[in-house]
Amino acid sequence: MARIAIVGPGAVGGVIAAWLEKTGRHEIILCARRALGELQVETPHGALIARPTVLTAPEQATPVDWVLVATKAYDSAGAATWLKGLAANGAPVAILQNGVEHRERFASYLPSAQLVPVMVDCPAERVTPTSIRQRGTAKMVVQDDVRGREFVALFAGTPVEISLTADLKSAVWRKLCVNAAGVISGLVLQPAGVMRDEQLGELARQLVRECIAVGRAEGAVLDDSLVETVLQGYRSAPADSVNSLHADRAAGRMTEIDARNGVIVRFGRKHGIATPCNQMALALIEAMTRAASSK
């Protein structure tokens, strides 16, 4: 039995916690800002109810076998406050976050050998603090090495799909292409069905084309067909599905805009690649966030 701490019991963290507890092989510990009761997760395979141990302060943390960080990218520093206690004995720390800078966000807190970057694609929404709707299969990709294979073994017997790859860089950039287009919902505050509009569909294509160009400059292998794959993925999703950037902006919270579109702009500048659509999306979301926070 492994002791697994999950930092950040949001939509993704809650789904992962529920499936890991369902195996009956692990002790699950949630690290949260406030006390939580039982966790209810509606999944494509039926309802799950999880009753993990919940810690509400980093000083309560003791060493575990694995740490899974599922906070938003902008809260990495907050997540890191838990690591001193949880990873004190050298536990591997899997980073289940958006973007392409998983190691960079935690490099100042832990040795690189302890960090396990994970590409995560889990279509889920938090309905209430203790209720989550998982709309589709949770999928993850990790590097094909010792730590990656150990991570896969944690989920044995669950419907969570985890792939091993020799090229994690390309996997996280492919996911970034999906996230880049998702900023449209964050801008217009409408769910995935809005992508069926032809003009917005063309904007999504351009956001993805820019991401592909920058990703290739960074060494990722990205096919041109990804443009249509991303758009069709949004158009075939439930019309009322809400991505995390949309949900955060609608609630007046901080957003992951830097990890999703800002990184494309930053890396584009490094390589001399123009990214006007992503730059505009970044500027608009940041301006809207500032306006909301000043009210």
CATH of the domain at 54: 3.40.50.720
CATH of the domain at 280: 1.10.1040.10
Q: Quick check: 294 pLDDT over 80?
A: no
DSSP state of 65: S
The average pLDDT across 253-260 equals 96
Give the domain range for residue 86: 2-166
* Distance from C-alpha of 207 to C-alpha of 177, rounded to nearest angstrom: 8
22 is catalytic: no
147 shares its domain with 274: no
Domain boundary among 150, 166, 182: 166
180 shares its domain with 43: no
Domain boundary among 166, 181, 211: 166
16 shares its domain with 159: yes
* Number of domains present in the structure of the chain: 2
For residue 37, what pLDDT band results from cuts at 50, 70 and 90?
Answer: confident
75 shares its domain with 135: yes
230 shares its domain with 214: yes
Give the pLDDT of residue 282: 98
Q: Quick check: 295 pLDDT over 80?
A: no
List 72, 84, 139, 175, catalytic entry: 175
* Distance from C-alpha of 290 to C-alpha of 100, rounded to nearest angstrom: 25
184 shares its domain with 252: yes
Write out the H or E segment, with its range, that includes residue 75.
none
Domain boundary among 166, 193, 217: 166
223 shares its domain with 158: no
For residue 95, what pLDDT band results from cuts at 50, 70 and 90?
Answer: very high
Give the pLDDT of residue 132: 96
* Distance from C-alpha of 28 to C-alpha of 3, rounded to nearest angstrom: 6
Q: Are 66 and 114 contacting, i.e. CB atoms less than 8 angstroms apart?
A: no
Instruction: Give the list of residues 6+ apart from residue 69 with CB closer than 8 angstroms, or none.
Output: 7, 8, 76, 79, 93, 94, 95, 96, 97, 106
Instruction: Give the list of residues 6+ apart from residue 113 with CB closer than 8 angstroms, or none.
Output: none
Digit-coded pLDDT (tens) for 175-193: 999 999 999 999 999 999 9
* Distance from C-alpha of 265 to C-alpha of 267, rounded to nearest angstrom: 6
* pTM attached to this predicted model: 0.94
Place of tokens 């306006």: 291
